[in-house]
Structure 1
Amino acid sequence: MAAVRPRVVAALAARFRDLDLAEDAFSDAAAAALVAWRQQPPGDHAAWLWRAAVRRAIDARRKAAVRRRAQHDLRQPEATPEELLIAAREPIPDERLRLIFVCSHPALAPDTRAALTLKVVCGLSTERLARAFLVSEPTMLQRITRAKRKIQAAGVPFAIPEPADWPERLDAVLSTLEVAYAQAYEDAALTEEAAPFTAEVLRLSGVLAEVLPQEPEVLALAALVRFAEARRPARLDRYGVMVPLEDQDPALWRRDLMVEGAGLLERSAEMGRLGARQILAAIHAAHLSRAETGAAPWAEIARLYDALIAMRPDVVVQVNRAVSRGKAFGADEGLRALAQLADEPRVQTWRPYHAARASLLNQAGEHEAAIQAFEAALRLSPPQAERRFLEQRMAEATRSLRGGRATFG
């Protein structure tokens, strides 16, 4: 049911013009499905959920008497454009993109648009969203609730705006796709709730690149997603343990996605309008150059992060910059860069910060401190493949610590 949720919710929202009603109706339909499908599973899960959710949405409106025109016979409705869309086996991009653009309305605060879209369109839990945006769960819930109320009060139309109005929403749309993909990417084994976003963001970024071929940041996002997905086959070892980028076998990387991404990035660069996503894509491309040269250009990657941090001075970029500097110029340099974040409250509950610190400390030979950092990362609920990797590295640090201590008989 999780796989079809975004499509059904998007179509419900488009039909009823109410985000809360769409989510509630889908939840009710999903609960009904748990009972009904035990006896006779439907041939088309999405179509069944759509019909059930429509009936529940209509019933909810009737009981609340919100809109009198919703009071009509609940007999099986004739096929509508929305129903035909939901019944399709393959996701149709129009409905999904329409709702993404709606949730990216300029009336909403910039830091709320992506979160609302990920909640409504993608179905991410509030807890997961809070982790993604480095805020508390109550804060995230408050943001989403306020945004829904503002959309309803303002009567925001559920349609893609005219092309002339796209620029004011485009960055929020791209941020939504970027965060969605990042949530999926951190799970190397694709076993958690964000797993479907990998294929979906790959598809939607391609759709946007076709719709907006003159937007360099659109092309850059499509490029960096393809570069990252190209490495997917090398991200797990045969035991299901996450393999970090620097240890991956380039022979396993997908050349078709690498070539497609390179073409998109080249087109983006030709437009002469540099943006943060172009630098991110260039960083991914630099990593992939190891397939040809045999060594990652860490000094070049560090310089790219220096350029990126001028555009995005957030903690995510700062942590990645510290790691790259540690690889390029030594662990001490990386630790110095990371130390600048020590007093930042948000990183204390952000797993990548502790994992990066543990790796740099281990690289510097500070094994006892590295073990403590590994333990801090493990307490923050990593996906299974990453957990195994962190446990493996912590065990190596423990052996190094024991081996470095003198014993006296």
Structure 2
Amino acid sequence: MVAAAVKARVEQVYREESRRILATLIRLLGDFDLAEEALHEAFFVAVERWQQDGVPDNPRTWLVSTGRFKAIDVLRRRARFNASRPLLLAQLEALEQADWSDEDVEDDRLRLIFTCCHPALAADAQVPLTLREVCDLTTEEIARAFLSAPATIAQRIVRAKAKIRDAKIPYQVPSLAELPERLDSVLRVIYLVFNEGYSASIGAQLTREDLTREAIRLGRLLMELLPEPEVMGLLAMMLLHESRRVARTSPSGELILLDDQDRSLWNGEMIAEGCSLVERALSSRRFGPYCLQAAIAAVHAEAPSVDETDWEQIVGLYDVLLRAVPSPVVELNRAAAISKRDGPLAGLILVEAILARGDLLDYHLAHSARAEFCRQLGRVEQARAAYQRALELTQQEPERRFIEGRLKALE
């Protein structure tokens, strides 16, 4: 029983703290691969030592310290047999003399994000590297988010790590003067982390609260550094969407669409904070795509019911967003809003036009939207075919069960 309890505690700490521990180890070691090796060694030791000595008061500090000493052992072994011994000895000496405390740890993940988004790295590698190292998304999850092959994503990550090592890219938050030019990549990373948490690309659960919570925490840290309108907009959008998380699934984990959600379950504090941030951001007159998405979420959040939602305003905001960021996904969302305003036929015409261009053919939500419009119009065979295509494309279990339920109802 003791061994099982300790193992469960180690697994809990890994889920909650491993990325933060890794970020600190990367700062201390200056080497991604060595830090990952040290992280896993530390958790391996924890399983045995915590059974003997008990779980420490501060597991994160214990694991960072243990990982650091394990890395020192690795470097000592390498120094004995490596031709570049002077360099390894210098790295070893610096590591042994490194001074750190748990107080330094809190913003390590923000430092790591800015390192992964450094302009010296290829643009198409920055976000995948951050999602892998900062958020522990698998290569497959990242590839799905980017509609790319896992091997392509893995290659980008390996090259980016090598570039950081060889170019000695500093592990630090940039100065205030440098922040604006580095901001877009970081905002995009936090946005994608939140999206993966809000609607997991694969797996048994609809959401991953650990990722949405971490994205919001990083958004708050970033806003302390740079309270720009788009930072406010991103944080507002995340808070407003997260406010609905509890209502998006039934107690058994089944998907509940926005129309059917119990709005009394929505988090009023998050809605109030998010709406306040939206007002501040829009009043600056310097808003961009994140502010516009937050404004759309705010209109939804403030509506007492689906029928009382201001669909005219939402469509107008999507029109502005589409001009700012031309995107078939934005077009799809706009089509859904237009269907609420003008009826399912109007939405169907727009979605079929997107698919006819060859856009979103492998995006399950596009086929789900087409199926829903066809269902509402009584076009049963077309609805069935579209739902079937959506079912083939989705890898998330709650969405699969929802689509299967729709198909069964059509019978």
Distance of 1:258 and 1:281 partners within structure 2: 11
- Specify the alignment match of 1:68 in structure 2: 89
Identify the residue that residue 229 of structure 1 maps to in structure 2.
Answer: 242
Deviation (angstroms), 1:285: 1.0
Matching of residue 364 in structure 1 with residue 383 in structure 2: no
Q: Does structure 2 conserve the Cα–Cα contact (< 8 Å) formed by 1:124 and 1:193?
A: no
For the pair 1:329 / 2:342, whether they are aligned, the reply is yes
- Residue in 2 aligned with 1:120? 133
CA pair 71-99 structure 1, distance change in 2 beyond 3 A: closer
Equivalent of 2:224 in 204, 210, 218: 210
Question: For residues 190 and 261 of structure 1, do their structure 2 counterparts lie closer, same or farther at Cα, with a shift above 3 Å needed?
Answer: farther
Between 278-287 and 181-190, report the one with greater CA deviation.
Answer: 181-190
CA distance 1:293–1:321, change in 2 (3 Å):
closer
Q: CA deviation at 1:350?
A: 3.0
Query: Structure 2: how far apart are the matches of 1:27 and 1:192?
Result: 28
Would the aligned equivalents of 2:199 and 2:207 in 1 still touch at CA under 8 Å?
Answer: no
Cα gap change, 1:82/1:218 in structure 2, threshold over 3 Å: closer, same or farther? same
Please, which runs of 5 or more residues in structure 1 have no aligned partner?
87-91, 399-409
User: Residue 153 of structure 2 corresponds to which residue in structure 1?
Assistant: 140
**Secondary structure at 2:186's aligned position in 1?**
helix
| Cα distance, 1:109–1:345 mapped onto 2, change above 3 Å | farther
Alignment of 1:290 onto 2:303: yes
> Aligned partners of 1:252 and 1:352: how far apart in 2?
25
CA distance in 1, matches of 2:65, 2:359: 43
Distance 2:303 2:362 in 1: 33
Cα pair 1:361 1:367 within 8 Å, conserved: yes
Of 191-200 and 361-370, deviating more is: 191-200
1:185 aligns with: 198
Written as runs of structure 1 = structure 2, the 5 A alignment for 1:36-75 is 42-43=55-56, 44-65=58-79, 67-71=88-92
| 1:159-195: CA deviation from partner (whole Å, max 9, x where unpaired) | 1111100011111111111110000101499947943
Paired AA for residue 63 in structure 1 = R
> What amino acid sits opposite 2:212 in the alignment?
T
Q: What 5-or-longer segments of structure 2 have no aligned partner?
A: 1-13, 80-86
Contact 1:42 1:48 in 2 (8 A): no
Number of aligned positions between the proteins: 389
- The structural deviation recorded for 1:287 is 1.1
* In structure 1, C-alpha distance between the alignment counterparts of 2:379 and 2:29, rounded to whole Å: 59
TM-score, normalization by structure 2: 0.85
Instruction: After TM superposition, give the deviation of residue 301 of structure 1 in Å.
Output: 1.8
Mapped contact 1:19–1:148 kept (Cα < 8 A): yes
1:23, 1:120 within 8 Å by CA — same for their partners in 2? no
CA contact (8 A) 1:101 1:160 kept: yes
Structure 2 counterparts to residues 98-109 of structure 1, below 5 A: 98-109=111-122
C-alpha spacing 1:83/1:209, structure 2 compared with 1 (3 Å): closer
Q: Given that residues 223 and 281 in structure 1 are in contact (C-alpha distance below 8 angstroms), is that contact kept between their aligned partners in structure 2?
A: yes
C-alpha separation between the residues in 1 aligned to 2:33 and 2:390?
35
Residue 152 in structure 1 maps to residue 165 in structure 2: yes
- Mean Cα displacement is larger for which, 18-27 or 182-191? 182-191
Which amino acid in the other structure matches residue 67 of structure 1?
L
Decide whether aligned partners of structure 1 residues 160 and 253 sit closer, same or farther in structure 2, where only a CA change above 3 A counts: same
Secondary structure of the residue that 2:233 maps to in structure 1?
helix
Shift of residue 343, structure 1, vs aligned partner: 6.0
User: Which residue of 399, 402, 405 maps to 1:386?
Assistant: 399
Residues in 2 aligned to 1:339 and 1:225: alpha-carbon distance in whole angstroms:
30
Cα distance in 2 between the residues matched to 1:180 and 1:243? 22
Which residue does the alignment assign to 2:82? none
Q: Kindly state the Cα deviation for residue 32 of structure 1 after the two structures are TM-superposed.
A: 4.8
Amino acid corresponding to residue 24 of structure 2 in structure 1: A
Q: 1:81 aligns with which of 90, 100, 105?
A: 100
> Percent of counterpart pairs with the same letter?
37
Partner residue in 2 for 1:5: 18
Partner of 1:257: helix, strand, or coil?
helix
Report the Cα distance in structure 1 between the residues aligned to 2:54 and 2:393, rounded to whole angstroms: 37
Q: Is the 8 A contact 1:305 1:317 kept in 2?
A: yes
C-alpha deviation, 1:38, in angstroms: 6.7
Alignment match, 1:245:
258
Shift of 1:31: 4.5
Q: 1:250 to 1:83 in 2, by over 3 A?
A: closer
CA distance in 2, matches of 1:38, 1:340: 61
Alignment partners' CA distance in 1, 2:115 and 2:230? 20
Q: Secondary structure at the match of 1:323?
A: helix
Cross-structure match for 2:188: 175
> Residues 192 and 151 (structure 1 numbering): CA distance in 2 closer, same or farther, change over 3 Å?
farther
Cα distance change of structure 1 residues 16 and 289 upon mapping to structure 2, 3 Å threshold? same
